[in-house]
Amino acid sequence: MSICCADIPRLPGLESIIFRAGLTGGQRIVRWPYVAENDSIQPWVSGGELVFVTGINHRRTERNLCQMVKEAVNSNVAGLVILTGPEFIQQIPNSVLELANQHQLPILEQPYSLKMVLVTEVISNAIVQDNLLGKSVRLFLTKLINGFDQAPELIHLRAGDLGISDNCPFATLALRISHINPKTDDPNYQLLHFNHELEQHLGSILKRRQIDWPVLNYEKDLLAIWPVTENDTSELYDELEQVLSLLQKRFPQLVLCIGVSERKTGLDKLAEATEQARQALQFAIKHQHQRIFFYEQLGIARLYAAIPNRGLLADFCKQHLGELCFARDDATLEMKSTLNHYFNHFGHLQQTADAMSVHRNTLNYRLNKIEQRLGYSLQDPFLRLNLQNALLIEQILFHHHNIEEQASTPALHHD
């Protein structure tokens, strides 16, 4: 729902501004207009600005304009608007346009006859109005996700007031950074930074696909409402695989996972869809050989999750996991990870060792230690099945416990 570079020539009064280069980057979000008056823009921008280059107070050579394109790319600005006319910058050099195309940086051309005061006012007003509407939509959707009980008729009326459709089939996507590859002294700062960048980029992808829903922040996850059709799941999987590929290409240092809900119709089903997507996400994170996980794939886990007697499930876990049950120390987590890999590869030792990037002898040593801790052999197929189910149930119980803890703890929500 944000204003992007491609929207600028469509705003009332700005029709004489034309797109000249970097069309593939047209969905970059415009955070605010900025008029460049210095030789370099890098010290003065922080990302997301639409930078206007007039040439009035500073002479702009071809070399300087190319330098500005490079600085714009490095500073992650939304795009450049270059003013042209007979007095200052007469035309945009081809080398500048080619460089912008190479980096997918939007360049727009504005005639000097169009007054800057009008342009900045129109763009600023559009951004402010869009932000106000976006906050209202986000607040409305967040309330629905948090279970605020409203009749479907009232939800329909409120959605209409906000200009959003609530009668189209959709699936909820839950996206999370499961791992950051490079080591850092301040991982929490990096996580917040990447989450913000990821939210912006995911929003651009949705806008490019003509999806008007905003990206939502919900606890650790980013949520997106994805319109779906009557077609089978394989088509949706292909679409989301493209999305994940685009995000991974933009953020190669991150390991990303997506959980997908069942197909739903009506925003009164949004809370249920969100819970399903987050359950599927937990499995995608746990079994990262499949980083897009559909709720329909959970199979028997859905039955366990529906059992209201958590104590019964916990007793089953304790019976089969013994002292490993609910333990979170590094050694125990390594044992559980080893077991999950072992079960995922149907007990095939070499495939398990390859998947874990360890020597087969190391794997045998770990499995022997696990058998000592459990007090029984992994060769018994019935006990192995119970153990695999116990690991699955333990994961479900942890997921529900975390949700209940977060629900009972007051949280600050930022739009």
Taking alpha carbons only, the member of 76, 127, 73 closest to residue 101 is 73
Model pLDDT, residue 29: 87
Model pLDDT, residue 410: 41
Distances (CA, A) of 65 to 35, 48, 101, 181, 361: 14, 19, 14, 35, 60
Q: pLDDT below 70 — which residues of the chain?
A: 1, 149-150, 181-189, 231-232, 287-289, 300-306, 398-415
Q: Look up residue 346 and give its two tokens.
A: 């149907």
Taking alpha carbons only, the member of 165, 396, 185 closest to residue 300 is 396
Model pLDDT, residue 197: 83
Can you tell me which residue has the tokens 């116990």? 390
Give residues with Cβ within 8 angstroms of 70, minimum separation 6.
99, 103
* Bridge partner list, 169: 265
pLDDT in tens, 223-254: 999 998 776 677 888 889 889 988 888 888 88
Model pLDDT, residue 414: 38
pLDDT in tens, 185-220: 555 657 777 888 888 888 888 888 888 888 998 888
Model pLDDT, residue 273: 93
Helices (H), 148-269: 152-161, 187-208, 233-250
SS3 209: coil
Model pLDDT, residue 152: 75
Q: Is the dihedral of CA 364, 368, 370, 375 positive or negative?
A: positive
The answer to whether the CB of 340 falls within 8 A of the CB of 391 is: yes
Q: What is the DSSP string of 111-137?
A: ETTS-HHHHHHHHHHHHHHHHHHHHHH
Give residues with Cβ within 8 angstroms of 96, minimum separation 6.
21, 62, 65, 66, 69, 82, 107
Model pLDDT, residue 34: 94
